[in-house]
């Protein structure tokens, strides 16, 4: 945690100190630390200050370059199409006194972006907002389909399930904190392995040259979108993971949070079901947004994507649990195991929905 004085002095590298009345925590991301900068006499935050987790995003220069390419590309397209209210539809990063969109203070990296006025985040969607979300993520991929500058793979193999399974194997072999002796842990290992081959389908098709990679968002949780007060999607946020991936990333990861009737870390597995009405609405919006480029194979495999993401997230939370919680922020010692159970339940529920 950072004290207020240091937050003030870091924020002052980006914005006029006279505009900073207070700085408070914002949101519940599992990777970066996020704060809102309040200006004097204003109820809404003016800026967002973020401490970049450089253990996860090791190349901050590439990270910010990717984000700048993506946001300016989208902004140009919106300008060309006469889109109204552009500043509320695409993020804008503030330049620091260094002329860059980030600063290094001691060993830490920080950045600031404008707060999008009159916006809120949500943890859940309705069938109507799921349609909008599908349309928005489809449009997002569509807008980025002709980016000329190379977008770096900021976290190599980020959504490569073969790689994630290999990391799990490494965690099991190391058993760094002795969690492998728990019979429940052994049981999840067996369950995960039983589906491994089937779940690696995407990577096999990629090697066979049948499946393309496109520029995707790669973290399409519901809480990575901003909505206006009427529940319309305003803007897609959390652009750190934008990189080349299968479209399954955006489709499957959104449903992982949106179609889950429970929470990502719900301790009560009875709350967790896969909501097919959300799936159908999101699918409709997504197909509309991606109709210019989606191939028949990509389309056919969208139900696989809806299963792949709870599976992959279970593998990732589980590996982190076995490693002793080194990646995701945890609120209590069993948190990553609770998350694993919840994602596994969601995987089973989705599997039940899609098996004929």
Q: Which residues bind ligand GN1 (CB under 6 A)?
A: 29-31, 56, 219, 221, 224, 238, 241, 264, 313
Q: Mark the segment that binds Mg ion (CB under 5 A) among 82-90, 112-120, 235-243, 281-289.
A: 235-243
Q: Return the residue matching tokens 């707060």.
A: 115
Q: Which residue, 143 or 236, has its beta carbon nearer to ligand GN1? A: 236
* Smallest distance, Mg ion to C-beta of residue 11, A: 20
Let me know the angle formed at the C-alpha of 12 by 11 and 17, rounded to the nearest 5 degrees.
115
Q: Which residue, 181 or 331, has its beta carbon nearer to ligand GN1? A: 331
**What is the helix (H) or strand (E) element at residue 95, kind and residue range?**
none
* Smallest distance, ligand GN1 to C-beta of residue 327, A: 7
Q: Decide if 189 contacts 181 (C-beta within 8 A).
A: no
Q: Decide if 341 contacts 311 (C-beta within 8 A).
A: no
* Smallest distance, ligand GN1 to C-beta of residue 316, A: 7
Q: Which residue, 160 or 313, has its beta carbon nearer to ligand GN1? A: 313
Tokens linked to 335: 């948190």
Contacts with Mg ion in 40-99 (CB under 5 A)?
none
**What is the helix (H) or strand (E) element at residue 125, kind and residue range?**
none
Q: Which of Mg ion, ligand GN1, none lies near 313, with the C-beta cut-off 5 to 8 A by kind?
A: ligand GN1
User: How far is the C-alpha of 313 from the C-alpha of 264, rounded, in Å?
Assistant: 10
* Smallest distance, ligand GN1 to C-beta of residue 29, A: 4
What angle do helix axes 248-258 and 335-354 make, rounded to 10 degrees? Answer: 110
Q: Which of 50, 101, 220, 224 binds Mg ion (CB under 5 A)?
A: 224
* Smallest distance, ligand GN1 to C-beta of residue 224, A: 6
H helix runs in the chain, sequence order:
4-11, 60-81, 127-143, 161-174, 183-199, 201-207, 248-258, 276-289, 296-300, 302-323, 335-354
Q: Which of ligand GN1, Mg ion, none lies near 30, with the C-beta cut-off 5 to 8 A by kind?
A: ligand GN1
Q: Which residue, 253 or 349, has its beta carbon nearer to Mg ion? A: 253
Q: Which residue, 39 or 57, has its beta carbon nearer to ligand GN1? A: 57
């Amino acid at each position: 945690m950072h004290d207020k004085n240091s937050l003030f002095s870091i924020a002052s590298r980006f914005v006029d100190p006279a505009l900073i009345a207070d700085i408070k925590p914002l949101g519940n991301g599992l990777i970066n630390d996020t704060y809102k900068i309040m200006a004097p006499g204003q109820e809404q935050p003016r800026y967002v200050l973020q401490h970049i987790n450089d253990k996860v995003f090791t190349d901050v220069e590439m990270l910010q370059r990717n984000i700048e390419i993506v946001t300016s590309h989208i902004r140009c397209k919106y300008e060309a199409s006469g889109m109204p209210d552009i500043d509320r539809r695409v993020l804008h990063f503030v330049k620091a006194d260094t002329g860059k969109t980030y600063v290094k203070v001691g060993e830490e990296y920080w950045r600031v972006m404008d707060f999008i006025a009159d916006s809120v985040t949500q943890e859940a969607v309705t069938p109507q907002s799921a349609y909008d979300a599908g349309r928005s993520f489809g449009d997002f991929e569509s807008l980025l389909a002709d980016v000329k500058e190379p977008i770096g793979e900021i976290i190599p193999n980020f959504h490569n399930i073969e790689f994630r399974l290999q990391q799990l194997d490494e965690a099991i072999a190391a058993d760094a904190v002795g969690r492998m002796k728990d019979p429940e842990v052994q049981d999840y290992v067996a369950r995960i392995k039983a589906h491994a081959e089937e779940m690696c389908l995407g990577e096999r098709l990629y090697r066979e040259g049948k499946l393309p990679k496109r520029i995707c968002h790669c973290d399409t949780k519901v809480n990575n979108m901003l909505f206006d007060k009427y529940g319309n999607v305003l803007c897609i946020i959390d652009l750190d993971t934008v990189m080349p991936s299968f479209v399954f990333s955006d489709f499957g990861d959104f449903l992982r949070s949106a179609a889950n009737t429970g929470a990502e870390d719900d301790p009560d597995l009875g709350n967790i079901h896969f909501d097919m009405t959300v799936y159908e609405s999101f699918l409709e919006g997504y197909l509309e947004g991606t109709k210019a480029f989606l191939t028949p194979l990509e389309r056919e495999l969208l139900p696989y994507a809806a299963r792949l993401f709870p599976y992959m997230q279970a593998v990732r939370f589980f590996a982190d649990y076995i490693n002793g919680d080194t990646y995701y922020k945890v609120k209590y010692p069993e948190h990553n195991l609770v998350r694993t159970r919840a994602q596994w339940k969601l995987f089973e529920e989705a599997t039940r929905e899609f098996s004929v």
